[in-house]
Structure 1
């Protein structure tokens, strides 16, 4: 049995383009999964630490971070902190991550640091360690060693894609990276799905982008589309997921639907793997 099969379901949220709603999706998808009964860990691998901030973890409170995990100075269970959302934890990020590539680049297991850490956490016999059912890894907006660590540790990649003119630009590079990781580091890695974000129903371009992406990527694209929503944009400044800030807003409701769709897709994937 592989290391990944002993672990919770691990999804890397990746897109080398910034501003596509990746961190917003990590925060709110994690919250939505927790709201429907899953135990979720968000691993913040972005040196900017926006997922940590958006979940209310102040920078001065981040005594240990994912940097310490990757350099081998802390375990995940020593780093994770509880959030205001029941059943949702976060392994926070600090700016120290900016230098982690230089520190681990010369090591033989440089691409497997996160995978080993998640496996060790999943295999812990300490009853105080949460039993995560999902781990969401928020990647930086680049295809660097941090993103490679995330993909090597993950079962699947979830790709947030903004409904804008250049939506498909760069997607081929991301898919190529996934293929490379699958071929050399993690043969179990798949594309879980593409989620279209920042959809504006008033803009004809958004509708055209949706049609184009569905034409090119087919069933890989989730049915759920995340709309552009002011309440979702405001929530991080209050250190809250949108579902806590305004449960009834269109953005929050969309993330609940996405969580349900992801669980349904997971069931299909597991059934297919067992067949």
Structure 2
């Protein structure tokens, strides 16, 4: 793990520019963007029953890397494949809630569940336009949660105790973390079985991965021995730029098989879908981005990260 951190976090820009310049292919074909063989992941078989859920935190302390977009689109894709999905908006900005078009004011939110044991988590769950995809919303109130929780006993495990009450109702819980490594993110990691790291294909995005993996290691050592890295997801990839291709090659060199084969390209369809309050799989179901998130869902099922 230490060698991964050294290779990925402090790579000089000159070294990055000197990486291989072999042309790459994008989309379907025998080779993916990093010249790795592209696997044709099978459509998941239907489940005979539901639950208990596997909890996955989508985490990166750098903002704007695609955490919320991935939570929404991956959740919708998994729901298309018959999985029951609960998305947790764990960011005070409430982008996940807005992106799914759900109410965030005058309703119970994740903030209420963290601060009061008397609130039933099922009262905070809202249905979305996607059958099989539910959400627990958040709003700006969540920004005060860390202050209120700091003196609580076992404060890092409060979210885990909340999710245990609804775990049997779902196959997967996706937690959209805020861009920080504070108490809320530690709560998410403590409650999770796995971590999915969306990573923008941009040089400065590499530098924070080492710190994030170090935080995951500390949570594993002190709070949650079962947590594992499910994968690193390359996002905002643009095959037209040498920079994107080189960064992706560097990530694969550093993290190997932990880098998912699925790569999410850059497209204006994502903000358009957010404005519409719908996942890309519904907003533009035949678009390459929608197909990519369906492939991501199939890949995670194939890897065993999702039932």
Cα displacement (A) at 1:75: 2.6
Q: Which residue of 2 aligns with 1:247?
A: 285
Displacement over 4 Å in runs of 4+: none
- Where do 5+ consecutive residues of structure 1 fail to align? 1-5, 124-130, 271-275
Q: Which residue of 2 aligns with 1:36?
A: 81
Q: Name the count of aligned residue pairs.
A: 256
2:69 to 24, 33, 37: 24
Instruction: Please show how residues 21-170 of structure 1 align to structure 2 within 5 Å.
Output: 21-60=66-105, 63-72=107-116, 73-122=118-167, 131-170=169-208
Asked if the contact 1:167/1:209 (under 8 Å) is kept, the reply is: no
For residues 87 and 121 of structure 1, what CA distance do their matches in structure 2 show?
14
For residues 243 and 189 of structure 1, what CA distance do their matches in structure 2 show?
29
Asked if the contact 1:27/1:54 (under 8 Å) is kept, the reply is: yes
Larger radius of gyration: 2
Q: Which residue of 1 aligns with 2:253?
A: 215
For residues 228 and 74 of structure 1, what CA distance do their matches in structure 2 show?
40
For residues 211 and 263 of structure 2, what CA distance do their matches in structure 1 show?
23
Cα displacement (A) at 1:250: 1.0
Cα displacement (A) at 1:7: 4.0
For residues 264 and 122 of structure 1, what CA distance do their matches in structure 2 show?
22
TM-score by length of 2: 0.81
Q: Which residue of 1 aligns with 2:225?
A: 187
TM-score by length of 1: 0.90
Cα displacement (A) at 1:167: 2.5
- Where do 5+ consecutive residues of structure 2 fail to align? 1-50
Q: CA RMSD in A?
A: 1.4
Q: Which residue of 2 aligns with 1:13?
A: 58
Cα displacement (A) at 1:18: 0.2
